Amino acid sequence: MTRTRTQRLVTGAVAAIGALALSACGSGFSSPASSGSAEATGSGPISVLIGSSGDAETTAVKSAVADWSKTSGTEASVSVASDMVQQLSQGFASGKPADVFYVSTDQFAGFAANGSLEPYGDTLTNKADFYPGLAKAFSYDGKLYCAPKDFSTLSLVINTEKWAAAGLGEGDIPTSWDQLESVAKKLTSGPTTGLSFSPEIARVGAFFPQAGGSFVSGDGKSATVNSPENIQALTFVKSMLTDGAAKYSSDLGAGWGGEAFGKGLSAMTIEGNWISGALSKDYPNVKYRTVELPAGPKGKGTLQFTNCWGIAADSKNKPAAKKLVEQLTSTQSQIGFAKAFGVMPSVESAATEFKSAFPDQAASLAGAEYAQTLPSQPGAADVIKDLNAKLATLKTSDPKAILDAVQTEMTAVLAK
């Protein structure tokens, strides 16, 4: 099962958890009577455009929107995009976009900069409930433009049978880079590599914040790609590839880390919480656990992937659109979405209930406290694409040379 980065970022929910499908249409998403009356939301129908990971997500969103529509008295409909970016762009250009829609981090800044998005986020009644890192990902020019919809983080996934077979126990769970490399070597045996991950910055980049690095400065104005911290992180990754403790999933003949892990080609992988759905569907006999990624020289670090609920600047019914978003991002609705298609809630108020319902994903949720987001400035996607191409040859390349080249590209992007 191949998971491309575009699919992950556009939909924000990559795999449905089959065993937790909705029990009935409309259940779990009922909106409180006070969340939106016809008087409060205005008049006119609301159109919602989503990029869905599958039937479970589509059913859940349609159910939630239908419940809100019934309570508020405002007509609302949901459509599934075949090409989200193209359809959004066409809608913006025509002046007739959907009222509410998914926006990925790699498209957000461009749409915000060209005036396509309504900057409504700072007026939300639940603004303070969003994880700070997610709110930062969807802030532009000092404003929170749109409500984070849900999110995923990267964690370390361990095959527990291979772990035990290697003589490893609870006390061997790696909490540092040295320990990660050590257990990866012990788990490397025969056709099984200790650790594997996809050859892309959306996996390798998790080591950057662990070394104290980042892709851009805190204010988003300067490129920090070739910082000493990032060079240290990439050099460590190269060392694991060189000594055989780790291999790219592509070098194992797999399309992504989850496939290599599911087939037993690796004993550990670095993946998002969407892997649970993929494993239950394609590799149900694999026994595994998920733990936080080991800390680096400067502490814990991971990457997060998220979408927001955008509202069009040209929407004819912005008050109703905002009320709908408030309901869709409420604690109750987000727990419903989590049970329906496996995403993590973007609001802190849902954390306790989520961890109770999904104890195996507690490590993924913990990453929200220290996760970074990949650069989202206009043009950054092309820089990331080039970096991914360079990372494919990391085992035989100079980490500093790779990052120096990408630093130049990112600096040019930010200068625009």
pLDDT in tens, 315-325: 999 999 999 99
| CA–CA distances in Å: residue 416 to residues 71, 107, 220 | 46, 16, 12
Predicted pLDDT at 394: 98
What is the token pair recorded at 309?
Answer: 């609920």
Predicted pLDDT at 250: 97
The whole-number average pLDDT for the span 355-365 is 94
Nearest-angstrom CA–CA distance, 355 and 366: 10
Q: At residue 6, does pLDDT exceed 50?
A: no
Same domain, 34 and 44: yes
Same domain, 248 and 145: no
Positive/negative CA dihedral, 15, 20, 26, 27: negative
Q: At residue 29, does pLDDT exceed 50?
A: no
Nearest-angstrom CA–CA distance, 161 and 163: 5
The whole-number average pLDDT for the span 72-81 is 96
Cβ-based neighbours of 321, under 8 Å, separated by 6 or more: 46, 99, 100, 118, 120, 311, 312, 315
Predicted pLDDT at 234: 98
Closest by Cα among 266, 272, 275 to 245: 266
What is the token pair recorded at 64?
Answer: 């939630």
| CA–CA distances in Å: residue 100 to residues 10, 88, 139, 397 | 15, 10, 17, 45
Per-residue pLDDT band for 7 (boundaries 50, 70, 90) equals very low
Q: At residue 134, does pLDDT exceed 50?
A: yes
Cβ-based neighbours of 30, under 8 Å, separated by 6 or more: 67, 71, 332
Which is more confident, 18 or 413? 413
Same domain, 140 and 266: no
The mean pLDDT of the chain is 90
Q: At residue 2, does pLDDT exceed 90?
A: no
Run of H or E residues at 143: strand 143-144
Nearest-angstrom CA–CA distance, 143 and 66: 30
The whole-number average pLDDT for the span 361-377 is 93
What is the token pair recorded at 199?
Answer: 């050859």
Predicted pLDDT at 277: 84
Same domain, 292 and 164: yes
Same domain, 94 and 161: no
Q: What is the CATH number of the domain that holds 74?
A: 3.40.190.10
Q: Are strands 302-311 and 288-291 parallel, antiparallel or unpaired?
A: unpaired
Same domain, 350 and 389: no
Domain count for the chain: 2
Domain that holds residue 181: 155-302+375-415
Q: At residue 41, does pLDDT exceed 70?
A: no
Same domain, 334 and 402: no
Q: Could you tell me which residues are beta bridge partners of residue 80?
A: 50
Q: What is the largest CA-CA distance in the chain?
A: 68
Same domain, 298 and 174: yes
Same domain, 24 and 161: no
pLDDT in tens, 210-230: 999 999 998 888 999 999 999
Length of the chain (residues): 416
343 CB-contact burial (10 Å; exposed 0-12 / middle 13-18 / buried 19+):
buried
Q: Are strands 46-50 and 76-80 parallel, antiparallel or unpaired?
A: parallel
Same domain, 31 and 111: yes
Same domain, 223 and 336: no
Predicted pLDDT at 43: 63
What is the token pair recorded at 337?
Answer: 């979405």
DSSP letters along 192-249, please? BEEEEE-SSHHHHTTHHHHTT--SB-TTSSSB-TT-HHHHHHHHHHHHHHHHTSEEEG
Q: Are strands 100-104 and 46-50 parallel, antiparallel or unpaired?
A: parallel
Q: Could you tell me which residues are beta bridge partners of residue 223?
A: 216
DSSP letters along 107-132, please? HHHHHHHTT-B---GGG-TTGGGB-H
Cβ-based neighbours of 313, under 8 Å, separated by 6 or more: 115, 116, 117, 118
Per-residue pLDDT band for 8 (boundaries 50, 70, 90) equals very low
pLDDT in tens, 248-295: 999 999 999 999 999 999 999 999 988 988 898 899 999 999 999 999
Same domain, 88 and 17: yes
